Amino acid sequence: MNIALLGMTLLGGILLSAQSSINGAFGQKAGALESTFLTFFTGMLLLALAVLFFGQGDVLLILDAPRWQLSAVWFGVSYLFLTILSVPKIGVTAASIATVIGQLSAGMVLDHFGTFGGVEVAFDLKRFAGLLFMLAALFFIYRGNKRRVEAPASDSMAS
């Protein structure tokens, strides 16, 4: 079962990169806010149908949730909007690795303090080293992207 979940998560990452690329291009044509709106509106319609036919809970329990928990929806909207703005300028790979670094950094802080009832996992030298390697990867990927964009068209044809 865990292998299947890892595979599904891998597929989710592939789909997320494709979505970032497509939304970035669409956002340049229609606008970043409009692209974000279309994505979430379409998602809402599809999820409404899924909840209607396959839902097992009580949607009205959303009204009983603490307000701070409802704030998470803004994080998803913000992530998508910022990705739509950044992908056309820095590329999918740089945007994706920057996202992962942000997730890892926040995750390490949340783990260290056991925030939101999670397990406490101390921030140690191994985690710090992993974060440094990710930052180095971002640096090299971003620099490689900048060189390719700055290179004249004739140079890129020759290589």
The tens digit of pLDDT for each residue in 19-74 reads 999 999 999 999 999 999 999 999 999 999 999 999 988 888 888 999 889 899 99
Q: pLDDT per residue over 75-133, tens digit each?
A: 999 999 999 999 999 999 999 999 999 999 999 999 999 998 888 999 999 999 999 99
Q: pLDDT per residue over 134-147, tens digit each?
A: 999 999 999 988 77
Contact 146, 131 (CB under 8 A): no
pTM given for the model: 0.79
In this prediction, residue 58 carries a pLDDT of 87
Cβ of 39: how many Cβ atoms within 10 Å?
Answer: 19
Among left, alpha and beta (phi > 0; psi -120 to 50; other), residue 56 is alpha
